[in-house]
Amino acid sequence: MATTLSMGSVFNNATYTAIADVMLPHTQNTYWHEFYEISKTQLQLNYFERLWEAWYAYMNNDTLATGILSFVMHELVYFGRSLPWIIIDCMPSMNKYKIQDAKVPSAKEQWNCAKLVLLQHFTVELPQIWLFHPLAHYCGMKISAPFPPLWKMAFQIALFFVLEDAWHYWQHRFLHWGPMYKYVHKIHHQYSAPFGMAAEYASPIEVAFLGLGTVGVPIVWCALTGDLHVFTMYMWIVLRLFQAIDAHSGYDFPISMRHWFPWWGGADFHDKHHEKFIGNYSSSFRWWDYICDTENSPEAVKRRREKRIAALRKVQ
């Protein structure tokens, strides 16, 4: 009995040690100690770059550092960006900007949505986020400071928006094909009048499927060019989350981006998709729906009607 207990104890200690080795920082110093040490020796870095370097030095485990940073960033941005829309939904004075003004989500609907989204984040997205660093490292993505120049980040992020939009359009159309819609995509259409937090209210398959565009596009870019920084990747994901949440907000304001950038999708574009369950498949822009004639708007309906009339006149 003593031997059995001893072996069990050794096994448990070994297991705990292995887990701690993966999950805990490999330094005895505090985060701010690392920050001050880096500030003494790397004077060429700006304040934010020193904060970044100190985090990786403190963790001394790049996979863990990137994993924690990625997941915390995602949660803070997702729910932080959703919060203003929750507040706006509670303000009757904002109803005049509500696209479907008779369908304001209740507190119960918001809570039920939040529970499923949180479940998805911890069971579907967290494992994928944890695998991000090894994949990024394999593809040659840069981690250490300094950060890339602003012009390079702006160019790459703009390119990612364009490429992800193409991916999203065709995969979203595929999700509206009979069996895929019935067994995968239908849950996302539970709310015919969407709200901000419902941006990632979807089945696990859809979350992984469409998420490939957001994460896969930069990974492929990095694999082909060898020129991408994790910080650029983070800025891209932050902006993509803002876009997705705002597109599901259900509000169209006079200052909304689509009023000064006509090709931008925006909330009115995606809201129509949820209301009618068809058309407007793109994520960020309108051009794929325009080119493929899947746009769902009064102007598009009028344009198609005029084409049919013109075709009939030719036949006659």
Q: Is the pLDDT of residue 305 over 80?
A: no
pTM, entire model: 0.88
Q: Are 53 and 36 in contact (CB under 8 A)?
A: no
Q: Is the pLDDT of residue 65 over 80?
A: yes
Per-residue confidence (pLDDT) for residue 235, from 0 to 100: 98
Amino acid making up residue 54: A
- The domain tally of the chain equals 1
Q: Is 30 part of any domain?
A: no
Structure-token match 């104890």, residue found: 9
Q: Is 234 part of any domain?
A: yes
Q: Are 264 and 258 in contact (CB under 8 A)?
A: yes
Q: Is 27 part of any domain?
A: no
For the chain, state the CA radius of gyration: 24
Per-residue confidence (pLDDT) for residue 24, from 0 to 100: 58
Q: Are 232 and 194 in contact (CB under 8 A)?
A: no
Q: Is 19 part of any domain?
A: no
Q: Is 296 part of any domain?
A: yes
Q: Is the pLDDT of residue 6 over 50?
A: no
Query: What is the DSSP track for 206-267?
Result: HHHHHHHHHHHHHHHHHHHH---BHHHHHHHHHHHHHHHHHHTS-B--TTSGGGTSTTB-HH
Structure-token match 């901000």, residue found: 196
In angstroms, rounded to a whole number, what is the distance separating the alpha carbons of residues 27 and 112? 41
What pLDDT, in 10s, does the model give residues 167-208?
999 999 999 999 999 999 999 999 999 999 999 999 999 988
Per-residue confidence (pLDDT) for residue 9, from 0 to 100: 47
Per-residue confidence (pLDDT) for residue 4, from 0 to 100: 42
**H or E segment to which residue 29 belongs:** none
Q: Is 227 part of any domain?
A: yes
Q: Find the angle CA(185)-CA(187)-CA(191) to the nearest 5 degrees.
A: 115
Amino acid making up residue 278: I
Query: What is the DSSP track for 193-209?
Result: S--GGGGG-S-HHHHHH
What pLDDT, in 10s, does the model give residues 231-290?
999 999 999 999 999 999 999 999 999 999 989 999 999 999 999 888 999 999 999 999
In angstroms, rounded to a whole number, what is the distance separating the alpha carbons of residues 206 and 188? 9
What average pLDDT does the segment 141-161 reach?
A: 97
Per-residue confidence (pLDDT) for residue 29, from 0 to 100: 86
In angstroms, rounded to a whole number, what is the distance separating the alpha carbons of residues 57 and 37? 10
Q: Are 225 and 156 in contact (CB under 8 A)?
A: no
In angstroms, rounded to a whole number, what is the distance separating the alpha carbons of residues 188 and 109? 13
Q: Is 40 part of any domain?
A: no
Per-residue confidence (pLDDT) for residue 22, from 0 to 100: 53
CA atoms within 13 A on the CB side of 279: 17
Higher pLDDT, 206 or 298: 206
Structure-token match 């911890």, residue found: 122
Count each helix (H run) and each strand (E run) in the chain, helices first: 14, 0
Q: Is 65 part of any domain?
A: yes
Range of the domain at 201: 61-89+96-315
What single-letter DSSP state applies at residue 66? Answer: H
Residue 33: both structure tokens together = 């100690």
